Chain A
Amino acid sequence: MAYSPLIDQLVDALRCLPGVGPKSAQRMAFHLLERDREGGFKLAQHLEQAMQGVNRCEQCRTLTEQPKCAICANTKRDHETICVVEAPSDVVALEQSGQYRGTYFVLMGKLSPIDGIGPEEIGVSHLLTRIQQQQVKEVILATNPTVEGEATAYYITAQLKALGVTVSRIAHGVPLGGELEFVDVGTLAHALEGRQVIA
């Protein structure tokens, strides 16, 4: 059954959200119209503001409404070290660790040819120019330990070879407080391979 044009339009628009099908979109639309007009207005307003205002940081490509994000604009941070991550949420996770004082580069994805994501889409050329311009000393590759993440790390490493920067990959292994018998074999193999001499 078709509703009036405005309602149809809203239901259709809500379906652009991931995981929202026709039924959920309809439920959301009616909830806003029947029970929460105020919330609806607020949503419309904030959505508009965010869509207009939020862009990518000109240095690290993360999402921000400033030309440079807070981390890139911070002069106290070490601008000679760049940590390459897949998503803005990875930046938040690494920041929470409190261990890292350098800057970031957010790929906004990973190499995944089947999804149509190649080197250009993840901004590799942008990263290369930045490294050349800012005399970066070390690039830390913190892509996820998945097949695509590894491929991305390898691709970037190959591209960086000519630039003479140190390239490192974050370690993966046994989690803190974990027990060896419950760690999956792949991780264990990695942990053994990447073992460190301590004495």
Chain B
Amino acid sequence: MRVELQAAYVLHTRSYRDTSLLVEFFTPQHGRISAVAKGVRASSKLAKQKRSLLQAFKPLLISWGGKSDLKSLFHIEALASSYALQGERLFSAMYINELLSRLLHSEEDSEDIFYLYQQLLSQLNQQEPVDIILRRFELSLLECLGYGIELQSIADSGEPIHAEGHYQYFPEQGFRPYHGSQAVLNSFSGADLLAIAAQDFQPAARAAAKRLCRQVLGFYLGSKPLKSRELFL
């Protein structure tokens, strides 16, 4: 099977043999794919040119083929110049790449997530606070992966969440009323939840959204923590 000229982003590369690279791509119709880019670490001019294209956050067009899980990369060209991310915004984008390479299904139609990813990169290039961009992406990503969080009603009963109430989050179930007197790690105020649902990121809701996303993602990521979190000072 040969796939011609698909849009793609590099999620991750690592050296393979003497002159090749193993590249993990994110493509809209095939999700995450792994491919061998043969000879791109050689010293020829052409190899160097290809190598310089195989960088994260650069919109690419690629063609690949192969029947096994490991594809062969046949062709690569730049679709546009790369997103010039710097500092904290670069770390954030690297964090998202780590997240995607852990959560994305391989060879599965992921057009909606691909669109979100493109949006994320262009937003990171603008002025909006980084954490809001990340939260918006994380919440939509969970939605697209089928792990969406119901922020407006209570698990089981389906009763609406009230702004005055307090609620506790349970993985894969949702929110239940919380009657304890002390705030615990997985308890949230109804007002914050409703604000997150409305994507109205006020300071309190921002903090709550961060705590919530961490817990939900933590559940799906399993016990191995995300390394990119160490980059944030």
Contact = CB atoms under 8 A, between A and B. Distances in A.
Contacts of A111: 94, 231
Contact of A113 (B86, B87, B95): B95
A185 interface: yes
Interface in A99-113: 111-113
A151 B230 CA distance: 13
A153 B94 CA distance: 14
A114 B100 CA distance: 10
A90 interface: no
Given A111-B231, A113-B95, A118-B231, A154 B87 contact: yes
Given A114-B101, A158-B233, A147 B56 contact: yes
Interface string B120-138: 0000000000000000000
B231 A151 contact: yes
Task: Place the interface of chain B in its size category.
Answer: 20 to 34
B188 interface: no
In terms of DSSP, what is the predominant structure of the interface of chain A? helix
B88 to A, nearest CB: 9
B81 A189 contact: yes
A111 B87 CA distance: 13
Nearest to A154: B87
Interface in A10-57: 18-19
Contacts of B45: 182
A151 B227 contact: no
B98 interface: yes
A146 interface: yes
Given A113-B231, A114-B227, A151-B94, A186 B11 contact: no
Interface in B60-84: 78, 81-82
Contacts of B95: 113
Nearest to B54: A146
A184 B227 contact: no
Max count, chain B CB within 10 A of own CB: residue among A18, A154, A187:
A154
A119 interface: yes
A73 interface: no
A23 B158 CA distance: 60
28 contacts: A18-B15, A19-B17, A111-B231, A113-B98, A113-B226, A113-B230, A113-B231, A114-B12, A114-B97, A115-B12, A116-B227, A118-B227, A118-B230, A119-B230, A120-B230, A147-B90, A151-B90, A151-B91, A151-B231, A154-B87, A154-B91, A155-B91, A184-B49, A184-B52, A185-B78, A185-B81, A187-B52, A189-B81
Interface of A: 18-19, 111-120, 146-147, 150-151, 154-155, 158-159, 182, 184-187, 189
